[in-house]
Amino acid sequence: METMPPPKDEHTGLVGAFIRLNRKFFNISAVILLGGMTLLIGADVILRLVAGAPVRGAHDIIGMALLMLFVCSLPYSWPAGVHVRMDMLYGRYGPGVRRIVDLISSAAALIFAILLAWQAARYIPHMYRVKSSTVTLGIPYWPFTIAIAISAALFALSIIVEAVLLFRREKP
Protein backbone atom coordinates (compact mmCIF):
# COMPACT_ATOMS: atom_id res chain seq x y z
CA MET A 1 0.00 0.00 0.00
CA GLU A 2 1.38 3.38 -0.99
CA THR A 3 1.53 6.07 1.68
CA MET A 4 0.76 9.65 0.84
CA PRO A 5 3.49 12.22 1.44
CA PRO A 6 2.62 15.22 3.57
CA PRO A 7 1.65 18.35 1.68
CA LYS A 8 4.59 20.48 0.61
CA ASP A 9 5.28 23.73 2.40
CA GLU A 10 5.02 25.76 -0.77
CA HIS A 11 2.77 28.41 0.75
CA THR A 12 4.18 31.30 2.68
CA GLY A 13 2.61 33.86 4.90
CA LEU A 14 -0.57 33.27 6.82
CA VAL A 15 -1.81 30.38 4.66
CA GLY A 16 1.47 28.48 4.97
CA ALA A 17 1.60 29.11 8.72
CA PHE A 18 -1.98 27.87 9.10
CA ILE A 19 -1.29 24.68 7.12
CA ARG A 20 1.90 23.99 9.10
CA LEU A 21 0.07 24.63 12.39
CA ASN A 22 -2.65 22.13 11.47
CA ARG A 23 -0.03 19.53 10.51
CA LYS A 24 1.93 20.05 13.73
CA PHE A 25 -1.27 19.90 15.81
CA PHE A 26 -2.22 16.61 14.12
CA ASN A 27 1.25 15.06 14.43
CA ILE A 28 1.63 15.91 18.12
CA SER A 29 -1.88 14.79 19.03
CA ALA A 30 -1.51 11.56 17.01
CA VAL A 31 1.75 10.64 18.73
CA ILE A 32 0.39 11.38 22.20
CA LEU A 33 -3.04 9.80 21.70
CA LEU A 34 -1.95 6.72 19.74
CA GLY A 35 1.02 6.15 22.03
CA GLY A 36 -1.11 6.56 25.14
CA MET A 37 -3.85 4.27 23.81
CA THR A 38 -1.30 1.64 22.85
CA LEU A 39 0.28 1.69 26.31
CA LEU A 40 -3.08 1.65 28.06
CA ILE A 41 -4.46 -1.20 25.95
CA GLY A 42 -1.24 -3.16 26.47
CA ALA A 43 -1.33 -2.60 30.23
CA ASP A 44 -5.02 -3.51 30.35
CA VAL A 45 -4.46 -6.78 28.48
CA ILE A 46 -1.38 -7.74 30.52
CA LEU A 47 -3.01 -6.93 33.87
CA ARG A 48 -6.18 -8.76 32.81
CA LEU A 49 -4.18 -11.90 31.93
CA VAL A 50 -1.57 -11.81 34.70
CA ALA A 51 -3.43 -10.36 37.68
CA GLY A 52 -7.03 -10.88 36.59
CA ALA A 53 -7.61 -7.17 37.16
CA PRO A 54 -7.94 -4.89 34.15
CA VAL A 55 -7.22 -1.17 34.29
CA ARG A 56 -10.32 0.49 35.74
CA GLY A 57 -11.81 2.94 33.28
CA ALA A 58 -9.62 1.91 30.37
CA HIS A 59 -12.64 1.85 28.07
CA ASP A 60 -13.60 5.41 29.11
CA ILE A 61 -10.10 6.72 28.46
CA ILE A 62 -9.65 4.87 25.16
CA GLY A 63 -13.07 5.98 23.94
CA MET A 64 -12.32 9.64 24.68
CA ALA A 65 -8.83 9.31 23.17
CA LEU A 66 -10.29 7.86 19.96
CA LEU A 67 -12.77 10.72 19.79
CA MET A 68 -9.96 13.25 20.26
CA LEU A 69 -7.81 11.51 17.63
CA PHE A 70 -10.63 11.84 15.11
CA VAL A 71 -11.37 15.44 16.09
CA CYS A 72 -7.69 16.47 16.01
CA SER A 73 -7.29 15.01 12.54
CA LEU A 74 -10.11 17.04 10.97
CA PRO A 75 -8.24 20.32 10.31
CA TYR A 76 -5.25 18.50 8.80
CA SER A 77 -7.17 15.97 6.71
CA TRP A 78 -8.66 18.47 4.27
CA PRO A 79 -5.56 20.31 3.02
CA ALA A 80 -3.52 17.09 3.15
CA GLY A 81 -6.07 15.37 0.92
CA VAL A 82 -6.32 12.34 3.20
CA HIS A 83 -10.07 12.57 3.69
CA VAL A 84 -12.42 9.98 2.24
CA ARG A 85 -13.08 10.45 -1.47
CA MET A 86 -14.45 8.18 -4.17
CA ASP A 87 -11.18 7.88 -6.09
CA MET A 88 -12.65 5.26 -8.42
CA LEU A 89 -14.93 7.91 -9.89
CA TYR A 90 -12.90 11.03 -9.14
CA GLY A 91 -9.87 9.72 -11.03
CA ARG A 92 -11.92 9.36 -14.21
CA TYR A 93 -13.13 12.95 -14.21
CA GLY A 94 -11.49 15.66 -16.22
CA PRO A 95 -9.98 18.75 -14.55
CA GLY A 96 -13.16 20.83 -14.96
CA VAL A 97 -15.44 18.21 -13.44
CA ARG A 98 -12.94 17.59 -10.63
CA ARG A 99 -13.00 21.29 -9.81
CA ILE A 100 -16.81 21.28 -9.65
CA VAL A 101 -16.82 18.11 -7.52
CA ASP A 102 -14.19 19.65 -5.23
CA LEU A 103 -16.30 22.78 -4.79
CA ILE A 104 -19.44 20.76 -4.02
CA SER A 105 -17.62 18.53 -1.53
CA SER A 106 -16.01 21.61 0.02
CA ALA A 107 -19.43 23.18 0.49
CA ALA A 108 -20.81 20.01 2.10
CA ALA A 109 -17.78 19.65 4.38
CA LEU A 110 -17.99 23.34 5.33
CA ILE A 111 -21.64 22.98 6.31
CA PHE A 112 -20.75 19.93 8.41
CA ALA A 113 -17.82 21.73 10.09
CA ILE A 114 -19.85 24.84 10.89
CA LEU A 115 -22.75 22.81 12.30
CA LEU A 116 -20.37 20.66 14.36
CA ALA A 117 -18.57 23.72 15.79
CA TRP A 118 -21.84 25.50 16.49
CA GLN A 119 -23.53 22.54 18.17
CA ALA A 120 -20.47 21.69 20.25
CA ALA A 121 -20.09 25.29 21.43
CA ARG A 122 -23.80 25.46 22.16
CA TYR A 123 -23.71 22.41 24.45
CA ILE A 124 -20.60 23.29 26.47
CA PRO A 125 -22.49 25.27 29.17
CA HIS A 126 -25.16 22.56 29.44
CA MET A 127 -22.61 19.77 29.82
CA TYR A 128 -20.75 21.77 32.44
CA ARG A 129 -23.93 22.62 34.34
CA VAL A 130 -25.32 19.06 34.48
CA LYS A 131 -21.86 17.54 35.03
CA SER A 132 -22.17 15.17 32.05
CA SER A 133 -19.37 12.61 32.24
CA THR A 134 -18.16 9.13 31.36
CA VAL A 135 -19.74 6.24 33.22
CA THR A 136 -16.79 4.53 34.92
CA LEU A 137 -14.36 7.31 35.79
CA GLY A 138 -16.66 10.30 35.64
CA ILE A 139 -14.41 12.18 33.18
CA PRO A 140 -16.31 15.38 32.35
CA TYR A 141 -17.36 15.79 28.72
CA TRP A 142 -17.25 19.59 28.55
CA PRO A 143 -13.45 19.93 28.03
CA PHE A 144 -13.67 17.49 25.12
CA THR A 145 -16.61 19.42 23.74
CA ILE A 146 -14.47 22.58 23.78
CA ALA A 147 -11.82 20.67 21.82
CA ILE A 148 -14.47 19.53 19.34
CA ALA A 149 -15.71 23.10 18.83
CA ILE A 150 -12.18 24.46 18.32
CA SER A 151 -11.14 21.65 15.99
CA ALA A 152 -14.35 21.94 13.95
CA ALA A 153 -13.77 25.69 13.61
CA LEU A 154 -10.20 25.02 12.43
CA PHE A 155 -11.61 22.41 10.05
CA ALA A 156 -14.04 24.99 8.63
CA LEU A 157 -11.19 27.46 8.22
CA SER A 158 -9.11 24.77 6.47
CA ILE A 159 -11.94 24.16 4.03
CA ILE A 160 -12.30 27.88 3.32
CA VAL A 161 -8.55 28.24 2.73
CA GLU A 162 -8.58 25.19 0.45
CA ALA A 163 -11.60 26.48 -1.49
CA VAL A 164 -9.99 29.90 -1.99
CA LEU A 165 -6.78 28.26 -3.21
CA LEU A 166 -8.79 25.96 -5.47
CA PHE A 167 -10.70 28.92 -6.86
CA ARG A 168 -7.39 30.68 -7.51
CA ARG A 169 -6.22 27.36 -9.11
CA GLU A 170 -3.61 26.70 -6.45
CA LYS A 171 -3.29 23.60 -4.32
CA PRO A 172 -1.96 23.66 -0.72
CA–CA separation, 136 and 90 (whole Å): 45
CB atoms within 10 A of CB 80: 19
CA–CA separation, 128 and 109 (whole Å): 28
Asked whether the beta carbons of 155 and 74 are under 8 A apart, the reply is: yes
Torsion of CA 19, 23, 24, 27, to 10 degrees: 180
pLDDT value of position 23: 87
pLDDT value of position 163: 81
Low-confidence ranges of the chain (pLDDT < 70): 1-12, 83-86, 169-172
